[in-house]
A and B are shown apart, each in its own frame.
Chain A
């Protein structure tokens, strides 16, 4: 198919043996001499003023070295320049149950834990807000005083003429959809180890080194410099192996700052590792989202208008919130051809852990609503759901109505693949009751065209150093968090230089060693770091080619780099193949000889037509001295989107596309939904490493299924009821269906070898595909996720005359979700719910509404 030697080949991850043997190091696997263990004291209140903190009893405990509180590091930070609203530890007040109040650094974990109990904190409870629509009405006790109505940010966009579009439509469908809150739950709990050196010149505390489980080492370096008032050059951030991120580690998590602040005060290295429960509190997951959606279509299936009002329950801090709410609107475009769009987005603050970026950032919940509603529209006009999607395709290259540039577009082929694979035409609508098929599509950016901190700086930079014996070292700031970015960089360099993967070393994500890369988020790494690597490798190759061309008496363009060799075009082909077949050991021997007596050897040989890679490198080095290639990537200006307010979020140099079909059955007795199989097709431009692409696509579909079927954060009075993997119900292997992945290659004109993103775009379609399949199976339209047995049963019963209605909690109709509920209506928490102890500090708060009291104890 292609004439690449490394690209497109199933390649084992370069770091996979470390993972398989347990020798690979994650942040918590490091320790340094004299290291202390840090433990954080969290707030028991959702919203309260801190009147006094007294740590004297804790400090008196033997083994406690330091206690830090908010006043030790009051500088504000946040991942977005517009959202600097966090401090290392609470200053003045706490804003959610689990907010960070103090940190103890002690010689052991058990002592640190004991010391936490000895810190006396006096709180004054304030009115707390848990429901975003209530929170928006707040006039007093604002969560951040500078945000009136607890609205972090609202945007109102109009593209085209939505009213005209509705007027032209034959069918207009309106509905409210609610997607409950989910979190990443990466297997590795966050961990940070911070250690200061003593400066040789001043004799005082000097440079800081931080090992942290992060997707964004350079942003961490930046935020640490803000909080600690240190120049960035004095801070070294090292990202070891990271045990999964999914967005959870794509911003600065409190412990990363707290560990450094504690190390500064304790004058000793401090390591903090979250417990699983703390990971849930740190959160930064996908917000609960209310989507009021209205779609107008014509009888022929063409979409005329979409109007969406989106309210996100953002939690207590801004985090990525402003970006999330913008993505939700912007990514209404670029999947289908929609001429008119109205978008009203509200990012609302509530007294719960902050939501942030999670796989499919911003697009997932709105996509669930849209793809569900499109299915309803298809049913109303009597069109096949796959056909209505085909009816609304974009015609790239094009600019969407909201100024997104689309060039490569594999969606039609994706739809075709899953329709064929699932035998859609034969089976859809013909399955027995209780079994159904559903289709849905989604897409995602290949990196944001505008970085968080607006500048013209390149988003990725790579240095490649070639050694005299033909070893190649790639220095990249990109963060491999398990998705395989180091491997992709190695493959790209190997392909360009025509050398084997074995020659390549990747040194990544160490701010002292590697050039800057803005991090692993918004699926940007393959595209942007890949392009930077490509350019760096080409630069190195150019130097080699120029030197070799001189010796071969030809122009550099006439040289072919492949199979660890360099030869002149037209040189006797068969001898090249013979040489390629010979064991590479001989290459090593030759390399040894060359180092000693290259001049002599050259004289003996005269003009050559062919060289080993080592020989070519030595030839170049004799001229250049050193051999380094550098490359960078910045998205082109025409991909950076419109000029409207908020227009910076959504544009990307390229979009990935996905289509999925779900095959489900619904047990009408128990309400249980079983997914039998998912067919998922993903347009990733070009699959640089098919194993990795399939892994990413399957993994994101799987995570989408989690949100579709069982995962949800259940709250009661701002307290998370299920902060563990078991109660959060992360699926195990037995509960996970077969997912068949089709790779579609649309070869993007700008991606490295045509590649686009593969890790996020498929997640969003999984949820509506299942919702649509449930509708096909039993005729209920679930507009609230996840589709737990309780919700399915409640919806089924509400349809059946005479059946006993299922009373979940107020406004529980999952076909018609009215507003937010304090908890999700899951079986284990239905009715009375778990009652908190009367003396539980979180209960003693003003403004406890009658409603809450009722949920607490009273009426079922």
Chain B
């Protein structure tokens, strides 16, 4: 298949990429842009390891054609750190054992990050519902949920401090 030229906005930067029209966004990110943070862990869009945000909405990059994402804001795990430091969520994941092998982490990060920007103070059910789109085989989710709650607390304290 011959290649076409597409323009993708990833993490706030525009990239011109030559790719086959049937290239998946995941492959485009990983192979053409070297953004290997998004992972592939399944063949049937069931694991969530490849989750990125398209205009702020968590989506499976293994189920999207790169071509179809032109003109949209794509955010990958590489775009989550703030000012070169870990975001509150990333820090909490480290401190609370939110990741073990870490292979599922980028996907979860994108899912939870979207949840928290929509709903800064989610209920347990909302956290559970959001997490159900991603799979982890290491943590049993317990520490991951602790990490998310710790991140929420940290954010709230940060905001409170800013207000004061």
- Hey, which bits of chain A sit against chain B, CB under 8 A? 10, 12-13, 15-26, 28-29, 31, 184-189, 241-246, 275-277, 481-484, 691-692, 694-696, 698-699, 701-703, 724-726, 730, 732-734, 736, 738-739
Q: Given contacts A29-B36, A188-B41, are A699 and B138 in contact (CB under 8 A)?
A: yes
Q: Which residue of A lies closest to B133 (CB)?
A: A732
Residue from the list A12, A25, A244, A734 in contact with B138, Cβ < 8 A: A244
Instruction: Report yes or no: B136 in contact with A187, Cβ–Cβ below 8 A.
Output: yes
Query: Quick one: which of B31, B100, B135 contacts A699, CB cutoff 8 A?
Result: B100
A187-B131 in contact given A12-B94, A482-B100 (Cβ < 8 Å): no
Q: Are A22 and B78 in contact (CB under 8 A)?
A: yes
Q: Which residues of B are found within 8 Å of A23, using beta-carbon distances?
A: 37, 78
Q: For residue B101, which residues in chain A have a CB less than 8 angstroms away from its CB?
A: 19, 186-188, 241-245, 481-482
Segment 25-39 of B: residues with Cβ below 8 Å from A: 30-31, 35-39
Indicate if the CB atoms of A733 and B90 lie closer than 8 Å: no
Given that A695-B100, A732-B132 are contacting pairs, would A19 and B105 also be in contact in the complex, using a CB cutoff of 8 Å? yes
CA A15 – CA B44 in complex, angstroms? 30
Instruction: Decide if A19 touches B102 in the complex (CB within 8 Å).
Output: yes
A-B contact count (CB 8 A): 181
Q: Which of B53-61, B114-122, B139-147, B155-163 contacts A (4 or more CB under 8 A)?
A: B139-147
Q: Does B66 contact A (CB under 8 A)?
A: no
Chain B contact surface mostly: loop
Query: Contacts of B71 on A, CB cut-off 8 Å?
Result: none
Give chain B's interface residues, CB within 8 Å of chain A.
30-31, 35-44, 46-47, 49, 76-78, 80-81, 86, 90-91, 93-106, 109, 128-129, 131-145
Report yes or no: A188 in contact with B103, Cβ–Cβ below 8 A: yes
Separation of A24 and B102 alpha carbons in the complex (Å): 9
Closest Cβ neighbor of A480 among chain B residues: B101
Beta-carbon contact of A187 and B37 below 8 Å: no
Which residues of chain B are near A187, meaning CB under 8 Å?
A: 39, 41, 47, 49, 101, 103-104, 135-138
Residues in A with CB closer than 8 Å to B139 are: 695, 698-699, 702
B137 to chain A, nearest CB (A): 5
Q: Tell me the complex Cα distance, A275–B44, Å.
A: 10
Q: Are A276 and B142 in contact (CB under 8 A)?
A: no
A185-B137 contact given A21-B77, A22-B76, A725-B41, CB 8 Å threshold: yes
Shortest CB-to-CB span from B44 to chain A, Å, is 5
| A725-B105 contact, Cβ under 8 Å, with A21-B81, A733-B132 | no
Q: Are A244 and B103 in contact (CB under 8 A)?
A: yes
B3–chain A nearest beta-carbon distance, Å: 12
Are B36 and A22 closer than 8 Å at their CB atoms? Answer: yes
Interface contact A21-B78, CB-CB below 8 Å:
yes
Query: B143 touching A698 by the CB < 8 A rule?
Result: yes
Can you list the 6 inter-chain pairs with the closest CB atoms, starting with the nearest? A22-B37, A19-B102, A482-B101, A243-B103, A702-B140, A22-B77
Given A16-B99, A724-B46, A732 and B135 contact (CB-CB distance below 8 Å): yes
Asked if B46 contacts A725 (CB within 8 A), the reply is yes
- Cβ A189 vs Cβ B40 within 8 A: yes
Chain A proximity of B26: nearest CB distance (Å): 12
| Cβ contacts under 8 Å, A188 to chain B | 39, 41, 101, 103
Q: Are B97 and A694 in contact (CB under 8 A)?
A: yes
In the bound assembly, the distance between CA atoms of A487 and B103 in angstroms comes to 18
Given A19-B101, A244-B100, 11 more contacts at CB 8 Å?
A16-B99, A21-B80, A22-B35, A22-B78, A26-B39, A187-B39, A189-B41, A243-B39, A482-B100, A691-B95, A725-B41
Q: Are B40 and A701 in contact (CB under 8 A)?
A: no
Chain A proximity of B34: nearest CB distance (Å): 9
Q: State A699–B38 Cα separation when bound (angstroms).
A: 23
Given known A18-B102, A187-B104, A242-B101, contact A739–B39 (CB-CB < 8 A): no
- A16's nearest neighbour on chain B, judged by CB, is B94
Inter-chain contact A482/B128, CB cutoff 8 Å: no
Q: Which residues of B contact A242 (CB under 8 A)?
A: 101
Q: Give A291 to B86 CA distance when docked, in angstroms.
A: 50
A734 to B48, CA, bound (A): 15
Q: Smallest distance from the beta carbon of B109 to chain A beta carbons, Å?
A: 7
**Chain A residues with CB under 8 A of B80:** 21-22
Q: How far is the CA of A184 from the CA of B39 in the complex (A)?
A: 18
**Centre residue among A19, A185, A275 by max chain B CB count within 10 A:** A19
Q: A61: shortest Cβ distance to chain B, in Å?
A: 15
Report Cα–Cα, A483/B141, bound state, in Å.
15
A724 nearest in chain B by CB position: B44
Interface-central residue, B30, B99, B131, B137, by most chain A CB under 10 Å: B137
Q: Is the CB of B36 within 8 A of A25?
A: yes
How far is it, in angstroms, between the C-alpha of A264 and the C-alpha of B42 when the chains are bound?
A: 29
Inter-chain contacts of B44 with A (CB < 8 A) = 276, 724-726
Compute how far the CA of A21 lies from the CA of B99 in the bound complex, rounded to whole angstroms: 11
Expressed in whole angstroms, the Cα–Cα distance for A236 and B138 within the complex equals: 28
| A692 CA / B90 CA spacing, docked (Å) | 17
Q: Which residues of chain A have C-beta atoms less than 8 A from B49's C-beta?
A: 187
B38 touches A22 (CB 8 A): yes
Smallest beta-carbon distance A368→chain B, Å: 19
Output the least CB separation between B18 and chain A (Å).
Answer: 14
* Chain A residues, Cβ within 8 Å of B137: 184-187, 244, 246, 703, 730
Question: Which chain A residue lies CB-closest to B78?
Answer: A22
Complex CA distance for A692 and B47, rounded to whole angstroms? 24
- Name the CB-closest residue of A to B23: A110
CB<8 Å pairs between A and B, sample of 10: A16-B99, A21-B81, A22-B35, A188-B103, A241-B102, A482-B99, A703-B137, A725-B41, A725-B42, A732-B141
Give A695 to B94 CA distance when docked, in angstroms.
12
Q: Which residues of A contact B128 (CB under 8 A)?
A: 733-734
Give the interface centre of A187, A692, A732 by most chain B CB atoms within 10 Å.
A187
Residues of A within 8 A of B109 (CB): 20, 22
Q: Please name the residue on chain A nearest to B94 by beta carbon.
A: A16
Cβ-closest chain B residue relative to A736: B141
Please report the C-alpha to C-alpha distance between residue A275 and residue B40 in the assembled complex, in whole angstroms: 9
Q: List the A side residues contacting B42 at CB < 8 Å.
A: 276, 724-726
Nearest residue in B to A695 (C-beta to C-beta)? B97
Whether A19 lies near B99 (C-beta < 8 A) is yes
The CA of A187 and the CA of B144, in the complex, are separated in Å by 16
CA distance A730 to B41 in the complex (A): 13
Contacts of B37 in A (CB 8 A): 21-23
Q: Indicate if the CB atoms of A16 and B93 lie closer than 8 Å.
A: yes
In the complex, chain B residues whose CB is within 8 Å of the CB of A15: 102
B129 touches A734 (CB 8 A): yes
Q: Which residue of A lies closest to B46 (CB)?
A: A726
Q: A736: which B residues are within 8 A, CB to CB?
A: 140-142
Who on chain A is nearest to B27 by CB?
A109
Q: Which residues on B sit within 8 Å (CB–CB) of A691?
A: 95-97, 143
Shortest CB distance A728–B (Å): 10
How distant is the Cα of A188 from the Cα of B105 in the complex, in angstroms? 11
State the CA gap A184–B103 with chains docked (Å).
Answer: 14
Q: Pick the residue among B77, B90, B134 that contacts A732 (CB under 8 A).
A: B134
How far, in angstroms, from A246 to B140 measured CA to CA in the complex? 14
Q: Indicate whether A276 sits within 8 Å of B105 (C-beta atoms), given known contacts A187-B135, A244-B137, A725-B46.
A: no
Assess the B43–A724 pair: CB atoms within 8 A.
yes
B30 to chain A, nearest CB (A): 8
CB neighbours of A19 from chain B (8 A):
93-94, 99, 101-102, 105
From A29, A696, A726, A733, contact of B145 by CB (8 A): A733
Q: Which of A24, A733, A736 has the most CB of B within 10 A?
A: A733
Give the distance in Å from the alpha carbon of A671 to the alpha carbon of B67 in the complex. Answer: 47
